[in-house]
Amino acid sequence: MAVGGLKFARLGRLGAPFADDGAAVRTAWDDGEGLPEALTQRIGADGPHFVPQAELPPGTAYEQFIFEAGQVPTRENLHDFFNALCWMRFPRTKKRLNELQAAEIAAAGIQAVRGPVRDACTVFDENAALLHAPDRLWDALARREWARLFGEMRPLWRQAQLLVFGHAALEKLVSPYKSITVHVWRVDAPWVDPRTLDAWLADDLKPAKLAAKPFVPLPVLGVPGWWPANEDPGFYADPQVFRPLRREAPAQ
């Protein structure tokens, strides 16, 4: 199955961290090589092996299989393609997420509803974005002060670093639409390269912090420089996308 004309250029800054790895795998995939094989040949020796989805035994949890076998079941689609690219660029973080999932499964088994740590790990893995930003910008984002965040504070975004990590979010961004919203995880210090960020992030992912779900929603195509349409201030006048912060009702 071909990548379907995936162009990392279409992702712009969103896809830049994955472009080199993705282009090499995409070429092999488009030439008819199976996606698991194309990935395994191009990942470092310390990374997992990618295997066809059929090798996941029936009744075995996906995360448990990865933890025990060191193999990632992979379908021939864009979702698993981006998941694999995240393994290639952020191996320590992906391994940490898997270890946390496996520990929760070992402690509580597979339940109808995931516990708070497993739930947060899944949200992070699928939809996280990583943001290092000045305190003023972060505070405005946390308060959902969209007009300030993308209006008067727009120049402050030049001091920020933002990277989309979640593979489901990256898949959506191949065919962008305005309401794509990521779950932002704050990074305390600037990063120089993916390896530096990977080491910091793997250490930062602790069960108690994840269970508290310190994510902040961000309609990612509103970020200055990431989507041409947001040069028009009217882009943000959409309460269905740029929603105000919900206030807790006062106790009676």
How far apart, in whole angstroms, are the C-alpha atoms of residue 90 and residue 202?
A: 9
3-state secondary structure of 40: helix
On whether the CB atoms of residues 202 and 113 are closer than 8 A, the answer is no
Q: Is 142 within a domain?
A: yes
Determine the pLDDT at residue 183. 98
Whether residues 81 and 161 share a domain: the answer is: no
Q: Do residues 138 and 167 lie in contact, with contact meaning Cβ atoms separated by under 8 Å?
A: no
Pair 231, 172 in one domain: yes
Same domain flag for 220 and 166: yes
Contact, 105 vs 95, CB < 8 A? no
3 state DSSP class of 126:
helix
Number of domains in the chain: 2
Residues 79 and 150 in one domain: no
Q: Check: CB of residue 25 under 8 Å from CB of residue 38.
A: yes
Query: Does residue 117 fall inside a structural domain?
Result: no
**In angstroms, how far is the first alpha carbon of the chain from the final one?**
58
Question: Which of 65-71's residues contact partners 24+ apart within 8 Å by CB, and which partners?
Answer: 66/98, 66/102, 67/98, 67/99, 67/101, 67/102, 68/102
Describe the chain by its helix, strand, coil percentages, rounded to 5.
55, 10, 35
Whether residue 100 lies inside any domain: the answer is yes
Among 165, 195, 166, smallest CA distance to 46 is for: 195
Place of tokens 């041409």: 228
- 72: phi then psi, degrees, rounded to nearest 5: -110, 110
List, for residues 162-201, the tens digit of each pLDDT value: 999 999 999 999 889 999 999 999 999 899 888 899 999 9
Q: Which range of residues forms the domain containing residue 31?
A: 8-112
Residues 173 and 103 in one domain: no
In a domain, residue 247? The reply is: no
Residue 178 pLDDT: 95
Instruction: Please check whether residue 88 lies inside any domain of the structure.
Output: yes
User: What is the per-residue pLDDT for 34?
Assistant: 86
Which three-class secondary structure string do you get for 216-232?
Answer: EEEEHHHCCCCCHHHHC
Q: Given this model, what pLDDT does residue 41 score?
A: 78
- Locate tokens 């739930």: which residue? 119
For residue 117, count other CB atoms closer than 10 A to its CB: 22
- 241's CB contacts (< 8 A; 6+ apart) are 178, 179, 181, 219, 222
* pLDDT in the model for residue 1: 33
Residue 231 phi, psi (nearest 5): -70, -20
Q: Which residues contact 86 (CB under 8 A, 6 or more apart)?
A: 18, 94, 125, 165, 167, 170
Residues of the chain with pLDDT under 50: 1-12, 14, 249-252
Return the bridge partners of 184, or none. 129, 216
Q: Is residue 246 one of the residues assigned to a domain?
A: no
